[in-house]
């Protein structure tokens, strides 16, 4: 039986969603596309063979009754769209970042709990076979104990990229590369290493005419004693996404840009552990690249079995808290732990907290 899916927001990321969903064949029926711009909604639906286009989400949900709603709007509209979908009985898959703030995230969690429906967040890098193999081998003990990790998202976005009104603003994007770009690598880092305990960070606005940071650097401590260095940038002409995990028995590296296949991984065994490590690595699941299609398939599998679809809100919260901690440490000048980010913290209500140490820029109001 096909899962009926509606897409909210019909910009570029929605096109990626539509193509990935089409790749899942008769497991999915695309029933509607919704956008505040009616012309764009109709054009999008025509291009992707979607029968119903509209501008009023509630009206479209009443008319089409989807099982699952993909929220592909700019980040500032995620919460309202998700709550509306939940109110009409649909499960929700929301693009990253799921909300602009930790307070909004708590509101989304409460709405999901009240509705009895599931909300998952798009973090597609978890779902390539390489990432699944890494997590499995770590849990099995083959790789040994994690000692050191590196997470690097060094991308390049020219000033024109920020001409889109909602980009580069705390109020509508929620943050800079820490929130909107590096969050993918950081989520994959956390999916392997688990709970973090302390963050020391700096953030700067070095070169872009934006309100948010354009780079951040952080040292992250984990509950098991591992330490990680995290770099997020939109100023780097030689672009790269890089993760490195140094375990007692192996180094595992992932080098890519926006997605990876098998050839993006490199495993180096410690002396004396070559046979066990390399045998296990090459003998595991293989051949599935990272990407939206892989995650969407996992979401459908979960819904069909009655389990929570990945990435769950509990998992996404850990990633959102790490983002908030980087900003909190950078803007207060001291280490920050997760217990300091609850209600009462300025970084619970806004990722910028009391404000960055630079002048905000007067920007065009976003409708």
Class of domain 3-121: alpha beta
3-121 and 126-288+317-349 have identical folds: no
Give the model's pLDDT for residue 367: 34
Residue ranges covered by each domain of the chain: 3-121, 126-288+317-349
Beta-carbon contacts of residue 147 (< 8 Å; ≥ 6 apart): 225, 226, 227, 246, 247, 248
Asked if residue 220 lies in contact with residue 231, where contact means CB atoms within 8 angstroms, the answer is no
What secondary structure letter does DSSP report for 34? E
Q: How far apart are CA 71 and CA 17, in angstroms?
A: 10
Give the model's pLDDT for residue 361: 77
Q: The whole model's pTM is what?
A: 0.96
Beta-carbon contacts of residue 130 (< 8 Å; ≥ 6 apart): 254, 260, 261, 262, 264, 265, 290
Give the model's pLDDT for residue 363: 54
H/E run at residue 70 = strand 68-71
Instruction: For Cα atoms 287, 289, 294, give the angle at the middle one, nearest 5 degrees.
Output: 105
Give the model's pLDDT for residue 181: 98
Domain boundaries 126-288+317-349, corresponding CATH code = 3.30.360.10
Give the model's pLDDT for residue 1: 82
Asked if residue 203 lies in contact with residue 327, where contact means CB atoms within 8 angstroms, the answer is yes
Q: How far apart are CA 330 and CA 231, in angstroms?
A: 13
Tell me how far the alpha carbon of residue 100 is from its chain's centroid: 12
Q: Is 235 helix (H, G, I), strand (E, B) or coil?
A: strand
- Mean pLDDT, contiguous 10-residue spans, the chain (367 residues): 97 98 98 98 99 99 99 98 99 99 99 99 98 98 99 99 96 98 98 98 98 98 98 99 99 98 99 98 94 98 98 98 99 98 98 92 51
Give the model's pLDDT for residue 362: 61
Give the model's pLDDT for residue 284: 82
Give the model's pLDDT for residue 365: 43
């Amino acid at each position: 039986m096909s899962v009926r899916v509606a897409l909210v927001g019909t910009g570029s990321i929605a096109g990626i969603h539509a193509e990935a969903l089409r790749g899942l064949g008769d497991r999915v029926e695309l029933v509607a596309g919704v956008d505040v711009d009616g012309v764009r909604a109709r054009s999008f639906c025509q291009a992707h063979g979607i029968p119903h286009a509209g501008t009023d989400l509630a009206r479209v949900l009443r008319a089409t009754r989807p099982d699952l709603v993909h929220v592909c709007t700019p980040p500032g509209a995620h919460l309202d769209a998700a709550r509306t979908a939940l109110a009409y009985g649909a499960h929700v898959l929301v693009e990253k970042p799921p909300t602009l703030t930790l307070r909004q995230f708590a509101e989304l969690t409460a709405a999901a709990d009240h509705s009895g429906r599931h909300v998952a967040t798009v973090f597609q890098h978890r779902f390539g076979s390489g990432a699944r193999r890494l997590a499995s081998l770590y849990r099995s003990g083959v790789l040994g104990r994690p000692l050191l990790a590196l997470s690097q998202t060094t991308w390049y976005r020219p000033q024109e990229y920020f001409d889109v009104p909602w980009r580069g603003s705390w109020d509508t994007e929620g943050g800079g590369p820490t929130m909107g770009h590096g969050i993918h690598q950081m989520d994959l880092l956390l999916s392997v290493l688990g709970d973090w305990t302390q963050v020391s960070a700096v953030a700067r606005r070095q070169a872009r005419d934006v309100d948010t940071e354009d780079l951040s650097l952080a040292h992250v401590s984990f509950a098991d004693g591992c330490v990680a260095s995290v770099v997020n940038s939109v100023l780097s002409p030689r672009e790269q996404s890089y993760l490195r995990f140094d375990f007692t028995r192996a180094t595992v590296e992932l080098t890519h840009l926006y997605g990876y296949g098998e050839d993006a991984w490199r495993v180096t065994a410690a002396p004396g552990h070559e046979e066990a490590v390399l045998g296990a690595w090459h003998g595991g699941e293989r051949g599935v690249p990272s990407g939206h299609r892989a995650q969407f398939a996992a979401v459908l599998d979960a819904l069909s079995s009655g389990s929570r679809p990945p990435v769950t809100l509990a998992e996404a919260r850990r990633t959102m808290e790490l983002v908030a901690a980087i900003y909190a440490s950078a803007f207060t000048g001291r280490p920050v732990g997760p217990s300091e980010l609850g209600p009462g913290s300025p970084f619970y209500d806004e990722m910028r907290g009391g404000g960055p140490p630079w002048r905000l820029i007067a920007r065009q109001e976003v409708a």
